[in-house]
Amino acid sequence: MYQRIAEARDRRRFPPPGRLVDIGGRCLHLMTVGGGSPAVIIIPALGDSVLGWQGILQGAANQTQVCVYDRAEIGWSDPPPSWRRTPEVMAADLHTLLSAASIVPPYILAGHSIGGIVARRFYAQHPGMVAGILLIDSSHEQQPERFGALGWRLGPVRYLWVAMRRQARILGVRRLAASLGLVPGFDAEITREVLPEHAGAQRADLLSSHRRRAVVREMLQAAQRLGEPPGLGSIPLTVLTRASSPGQDWPVWAQMQNELASLSSDSEHITAREAGHYIHLDEPDLVIKAIRNLAGRCR
C-alpha cells in the first residue's frame, strides 16, 4: 500500500519532461532538442530513461537535432502489449515512434549497451533510413554465450540471477529504506547520473514498480542467443569502448568491440580512457564530440 500511494504521488509530482507520442493505443516518451539533419536518435541502455542523457542533449543540440526516448514501460512510456521484448520488437517500436513524431530520416542511431543491439536491428529493418551509427560500449549479440564460455556464472545464468534478484525485491521496503538513508550509495548514484533538476524524478523512477518490470524483462531478453551481428555495409560507424577493466571477461569484451567496429567499411574505433561502461556519464565531452564528428561525416 505504501508503494502504491508513493507511486501515485510521484506521477503527480513529476510529469514527463518531453512529449508522449501515440504509437497505436499506447504512448512512448520522446525528448527532442535542436534542429537540422541528420537527426541523432539516442537509444539508452537496459532499463535507463531519458534523464541520464540530458547533458548530452544540451551539448550536442547546437549541431543538429538530437532525440532520446524511453522504451516501453521505462520512464514515462506505457507498458508493451506483450511481455516479450525482443530487439526486433524494440526496433519496430522506435520506427513507429519516429514516424508518429514526424522525425524525418535519415537518422544517426546512437545506441548505448543493449541500445546498440536495437540500433543494429533498426538498420537491418530499415537500412535506407539510417545515415550512421554510434555504438557506445555496445552489447554484442553473442555476449551471453561467449561470456558463458569463461564459466557458467558469467553467461546466461548471471542475467537470470540478476533478474530474479530484482523481481524478489519488496519495493515498499526498498523505498522506505531509501527515504531513511539506509541504501548505501543510492543518493550518490542519482547525483552522478542526472542533472540536479531531475534528481527527484530519477529517484522516483529508480524506486518504481514499472522500472523493475522493464529491467527484469530486458534482462531476460539479454540472456537469449541472438546470432551474428548484422553487417552495416559502408555506412559511417563510430564505436566508443570503455577503458580496460580487471575483470575476467575483459579480453572477450574487447574482442567483441573490435568485431563491432569491423561491421562497416567506414568505421572509427575510439577508446574512452577515463570511463567505465557509462561513458556518457564519465566522459560526456567525448560522446558529444563523437556525435558531432559522426554528423559531419554523414553530411
Domains of the chain, start order: 2-298 (3.40.50.1820)
Q: What is the per-residue pLDDT for 246?
A: 75
Q: Is the pLDDT of residue 72 over 90?
A: yes
Instruction: Return d(Cα 104, Cα 139) in angstroms, integer.
Output: 27
Instruction: Return d(Cα 9, Cα 199) in angstroms, integer.
Output: 16
* Mean pLDDT score, 143-152: 86
Q: Is the pLDDT of residue 195 over 90?
A: yes
C-alpha cell at 62: 547546437
Among 32, 6, 7, smallest CA distance to 19 is for 32
Q: What is the per-residue pLDDT for 83?
A: 73
Q: What is the per-residue pLDDT for 162?
A: 86
Q: What is the per-residue pLDDT for 140?
A: 95
Q: What is the per-residue pLDDT for 94?
A: 98
* Mean pLDDT score, 257-282: 96
Q: Is the pLDDT of residue 153 over 90?
A: no
* Mean pLDDT score, 197-204: 96
Question: Which residue bears the cell 520506427?
Answer: 95
Q: Which pTM was predicted?
A: 0.94
Q: Is the pLDDT of residue 84 over 80?
A: no
pLDDT, the chain, mean: 93
Q: Hey, how many other C-beta atoms are within 10 angstroms of the C-beta on 124?
A: 16
Instruction: Return d(Cα 299, Cα 297) in angstroms, integer.
Output: 5
Diameter over CA atoms, the chain:
56
Is the CB of residue 138 less than 8 Å from the CB of residue 260?
yes
Instruction: Return d(Cα 231, Cα 20) in angstroms, integer.
Output: 33
pLDDT tens for each residue of 93-142: 999 999 999 999 999 999 999 999 999 999 999 999 999 999 999 999 99
* Mean pLDDT score, 212-232: 89
**Pairing status of strand 66-69 against strand 39-43:** parallel
pLDDT tens for each residue of 1-57: 999 999 999 999 999 999 999 999 999 999 999 999 999 999 999 999 999 999 999
Question: How does residue 91 score in pLDDT terms, banded at 50, 70 and 90?
Answer: very high
Question: How does residue 154 score in pLDDT terms, banded at 50, 70 and 90?
Answer: confident
